Every structure is written in structure tokens, then in C-alpha cells.
Amino acid sequence: MEHLLDITGLTVSYYTDIGRAIALNQVDLKLKQGEKLGLVGESGSGKSTMGLAMMRMIKPPGKVEGGSVVIGGVDMLQLSDKEMLKRRLSTISYIPQGAMNSLNPVLKIKRQMIDAYKAHYPNHKLDQILQLAHEAMISVELPGHVLEMHPHELSGGMKQRVCIAIGILLRPQIIIADEPTSALDVVTQRQVIETLNRVQQKIGSALILIGHDMGLMAQSMDKVAVMYAGEIVEINDVQTVFTSPKHPYTQALISSLPRLQNRGEFRGIPGMAPSLYRLPNGCRFHPRCNQQQPQCQTTSPPKSVFEDEKYVTCHLYEAS
Amino acid sequence: MNTATLELKNVSKLYRVGKKAVHALNPITFDLLGDPARIITVAGESGSGKTTLASIMLGLLGPTTGQVLYEGKDVSKLSGAQYRDFRKNVQAVFQDPFAVFNPFYQVDHLLEVPIRKFNPGLSKAARRKAMEEALEAVGLQPSEILGRYPHQLSGGQRQRINVARAIVIKPKILVADEPVSMVDASLRANILEALVSLRENYKVNILYITHDLTTAYHVSDSIIVLYRGSVMEAGDITKVVESPQHPYTQLLINSIPWPDLERKWDNQRYANPDIQEISGAGCKFYSRCPNRQPGCQVTPQLVPLFPRHLASCLLHQPQANLDSNLTQNL
């Protein structure tokens, strides 16, 4: 089966007064139609940068320095700005982290959805657009009268669902949801994630869920990509990630999770993530790794690819 | 020694906005006993009144009705010296590890100010020693922290410094309001471990406020579940989390995204919370409850169901031979 999304060698840097921070380094990622991928990592590991780079929304001092983001045979990075504008929302859409701040406070929800639609199809009739807006609202389980409301009249969870409704208005092939629930409490979080899964299934798009909550990944994702200091260190199906993780970082991440069975045990990951300005030589994780080998300090580990585009970047798996 | 250090007697809080009034906290009575040291979780979703409760316990907010007593004396009527003593012994850690630091000062400043204020007689060397001890207590290397500026430290380190700041003057009670919700999941373990070691080694009583029952289960001894300002369920943490009795607690626990492939979300669908505030009598959870019945229009009492397990729900018959006092069940 042809891949819907094919990212190769994507590199993004931020240029600041202190120097060059490599936020994404030669990242590869492939995704099929309808697949659900969780993108996890600590703050500063590059997961949001990755989402923004796919949308071509990296702003200075950030710069995409290489690679390609091919969706359905077209490289997003080679398109003109005008063409890219057309692709956003219709081919690939982005549901931002703070729904609270991403809606315009002085416009009714209806107006914001019409604007988004008109930007792509200026000649469509208003009642036709409203019909679609209504359907989008129903698919996120919000009553139709929410269209007539202003953002301040809605709760956090409702606002986030409005953002999802706008995100799916044009039935994109790929939805990127960047920590859509980080500001919500557990009950609302569950509702939002379940809504996201339902609409994803309904329109058959691929879904990339960015976050650091492994619990959410276990509940609803097919595959998990683990990021560390600007690189994807492992991509695997969710089963393997939770039961037999390959990369030592993934292993540490999984064993640090609080579960019902290990009450009162705390296993944090010792040390802290490196600064992107001063990355260690060799493997970026080696100073914190408990299975370190001599070559880890000098050589970057190669990608060991398994079947179905899964891979791990670690010297331990070099032979296979 | 079993003297109550902080007692809440019928404390409630009403916020008025114009003609509207919101019951942020309905009358609640319980004591934080000085000995043995425990970690008590206050759990609930946004708007459940948990931060209001914390602010009242810290003396930052006066209750609308009822009294907060610190070592037997009303907190709102303490004399200057008594109030200083209260301030010293009841310390806080807040949610945001980024907002509490002044970026122009080294982190030493944050640790040194409370020592200077509450222990003015200490020499410079003694102050330094107290700071180092506090940092070690939360699992940080003093040599890596002292002399640094906030921007040089990670969120997890800063939050642990906040805990160190709270304990540098050896308080009796620590109120921790969502201390890990803004910290990466991989660093949460370190902060929670610091809280547990405070209880073990320094005998500090901790009120842990959170909406995350997973971490609550791991660190605390007992729990109070709040919904719209009322106590829904309370008691021993393992009992409440492992066999929740109130439909609201069941909803909270079923919504946890457990990092476990064997334990997926069930298929139960719950009604969305109303936008309007429910006023008047009756169970606060009525409009969302899957098991509601006509009798729920009367406000249910918090009653004992099992030893150290209380709930306020009509579905359950109280056990008359058990104590219904909240303090005794925590």
C-alpha cells in the first residue's frame, strides 16, 4: 500500500543569539491512510516543531533546512505559499494546543467556520456552508446552537471540540492534534480524545496525536513514535512499545509510568535532556543511558529498520 | 501527641458576581492532624472547589462561613507573632514552576528569603547549610543548583526547588496545588518522590491537590473527592481508587487514560456537564449521573460505607456502627 505521508530527512533549526539549535535532525516518518500515530517526547524534544514543519508554519528564527514532506505524491515543502495555503485544512489540518486562545473571541463560531471554508471555496453558497458546519458540529457532538455562540460562552472542552470541528470541516487526509487535551481535566480529556477518534474514523484520515501522556497513546493509538532531543529514536506499534520497548529511552519512559500494580514505586529517568545548542557527541541519549557502549560516545547510531516502517536508532540493534 | 494542627470547622465559600452567587465550597469540616504525618489528596475537576479549599487553608482567602483554626486559634484573628508562626508552618507549592521565579535573581534568592524572614539570627554559613539540606531532601545536587538562574534549569528542577523553598523553614503542613500538572510526565516521578520523602523524613503533613487520580494513588494515604464544592467520596486511597462507590468517582477513575493496553476505556457514555450552575438542593452530580433517581433531589449526606470509606450517594446504605466523622476516615 502506498504511503499517504512520507517524511524524509526533515531538519529544522532555530537561529538565536546563542547559536543554532537543531530542533529536528534528519527525521523520517511514514504513515498510511487511516493510521493513528502518537508522537511523544519531553518538552523541547521537537514534537511540536515536527507538527508545525508539516504544516509549513515554522516562523523565523526557525528554518526548515532540508528534507521533504510528501503527502499523496506532492512535496509540501516545494509548493508556493499560495498553493500551501490551499492545502492547509483541506489536505492537512492542525488542531492547536491551547483551544482557549486559538478562537477569535469577538466572532461567533459560525463566522469562524464560514471564514475557514470561504478561504478555500469562495464561490460556495452560504446555506450550503452552514449545512456543512452543522454536520461538523454534530460529528463532534456539540448542539447546533453552539454555532451562534461566542467562544467565551463555551467551556474548555467545548472550545477544543469546536477546534476539532473546524479542523475536519474540509475533510483533510491528515489531522495533526498538538496536545489537544493538556489544559483539560481527565473527564473532559477523555471526551475530547474519543471525539477525535470518532471523527477520524468517520472521515478516514490519518491522525497524528502529539503529547507526552503515554496513557492517551495506549488508549487510542495504533503506532507510537518516541522523540528525544530532535530525533525519532523509535517508531513501533503500540503493543511493542508498551510490552517490549526497544530503545533504552523508550524502556525508561515506559518503566517510569505510574500504573495500578506498582503503587508507591517511583522510577524517574535520571539526568535531564540535553540542550539543543550543545548536543553530546555520538548518541544523544548516551549520557543518560543505562546500556551505554563505547561507540555510543563517538558515533551516532544508525537506523535499524524493521517491517512496516518501524525503526529504532540505537547501537544495540545495529547487527539485526 | 495527637493535637490537630489545622482544623476546618463548617468552612464554606460563596463567590458573588453581581446578583449571581456561586457556591464554590459547601460546608466542610475536617482536621489535619499533626501526627502521624500523612498525604491527603483533594481531587476533582476544574471548578470543583479544590483550589478554593487550598487558598482557605493557606489563609489567603477568608471563608464565607465557618472557621479555620491553627493550633486551636482562629486564623483570621491571629496576632502578628502568631500569624508569623502560622505562615512559617503552613507552606505552599503552586502549579506553575515558571511563574514563581524572578528571572533576574539566582535561585538562591528564592530559598534564602524565607530563611532570613523566619530565622533572622542564622549566619551566612548556616543559611547555606539549610539551603543545601532542603535541596538534598528533594533529590537535587546543591552544587548544580545554587548560583544558577531560573532559565538555566528545567521545569522539573524548578518545581523541586519550589518544594525545597517550602521546606527550608521546616513547616508542619505543605499545601501542594497541582504541583506536577505542568511538568513533563517523565519528571513527575521525581517530584512525587520528593513529596513522599518529606512525609517520611520530615514528618510534614501534605495536602495534595490534583485532578490526576493516578499520581494521587501513588503518593497519598487518603483522599477527598470534591464535585461542585461538595464532598462526594472520601477515605483510604486504595479503597476509594480500587473500589469507588460514588458514580462521580467511578466516572473519574474510568476516565483515567491508564498506560496499560489491558485496561482500556469502557464504553459507558457520560452526559456533558451543564454550562449553568446548579443551585438549590439535591445531589450536585444529579444531571450527569447514570444512576439518578427521584430521591436524589434531596442533598445526600456523607455517610460511612466501610471502615475508612465515606460516600454521599443514595445508592448506598450507611453502616450505622461506623464513624461518619471525615477526619477519622482520612
Percent pLDDT > 70 in chain B is: 94
- Chain A residues with beta carbon closer than 8 angstroms to that of B232: none
Nearest to A186 among B190, B211, B217 (CB): B211
- What residues does B272 pair with on adjacent strands? none
Name the closest residue on chain A to residue B242, using Cα atoms.
Answer: A260
pTM recorded for the entire structure = 0.83
> Furthest-apart CA pair in chain A: how many Å?
67
Asked whether the beta carbons of A52 and A65 are under 8 A apart, the reply is: no
Q: Is residue B122 part of a domain?
A: no
Q: How confident is the model at residue A99 (pLDDT cuts 50, 70, 90)?
A: low
The interface residues of chain A toward chain B in range 52-91, judged by CB-CB distance below 8 A, are: none
Write phi, then psi, for B74 (nearest 5 degrees): -65, 125
CATH code, domain carrying B62: 3.40.50.300
Radius of gyration of chain A (CA): 20
pLDDT tens digits along B126-149: 999 999 988 988 878 888 889 889
What's residue B269's pLDDT? 64
Q: Is residue B136 part of a domain?
A: no
Query: How close is the nearest chain B Cα to the Cα of A317, in Å?
Result: 24
Mean pLDDT for chain B overall: 86
Name the pairing type of β-strands B309-311 and B173-177.
unpaired
- Name the residue range of residue B321's domain: 4-104+160-329
Q: How large is the ipTM? A: 0.78
Nearest to B275 among A155, A257, A272 (CB): A155
Q: How confident is the model at residue B2 (pLDDT cuts 50, 70, 90)?
A: very low
B259-262 LR contacts (CB < 8 Å, sep 24+): B259/A214, B259/A215, B259/A217, B259/A218, B259/A242, B259/A254, B259/A257, B259/A258, B259/A259, B260/A215, B260/A218, B260/A242, B260/A259, B260/A260, B261/A218, B261/A238, B261/A239, B261/A242, B261/A243
A20 touches chain B (CB under 8 A): no
Strands (E) in B82-210, as ranges, are 90-93, 173-177, 205-210
What's residue B293's pLDDT? 85
The interface residues of chain B toward chain A in range 123-142, judged by CB-CB distance below 8 A, are: none
CB within 8 Å of B278: residues ≥ 6 apart: B228, B284, B286, B287
Under an 8 A CB cutoff, do A186 and B255 touch? yes
Q: Is residue B121 part of a domain?
A: no
Q: Is residue B279 part of a domain?
A: yes
Integer distance in angstroms from the first to the last C-alpha of chain B?
17
What's residue B275's pLDDT? 45
Q: Is residue B86 part of a domain?
A: yes
Query: How close is the nearest chain A Cα to the Cα of B74, in Å?
Result: 34
Q: How far apart are CA A134 and CA A145, in angstroms?
A: 9
- Chain A residues with beta carbon closer than 8 angstroms to that of B149: none
Q: Is residue B137 part of a domain?
A: no
- Chain B residues with beta carbon closer than 8 angstroms to that of A189: 255, 257
Q: Is the pLDDT of residue B246 over 50?
A: yes
Q: How confident is the model at residue A68 (pLDDT cuts 50, 70, 90)?
A: very high
Q: Is residue B150 part of a domain?
A: no
Under an 8 A CB cutoff, do B187 and A273 touch? no
Percent pLDDT > 90 in chain A is: 58
Asked whether the beta carbons of B237 and B40 are under 8 A apart, the reply is: no
Domain count, chain B: 1
Q: Is residue B132 part of a domain?
A: no
What's residue B270's pLDDT? 62
Q: Is the pLDDT of residue A267 over 80?
A: no
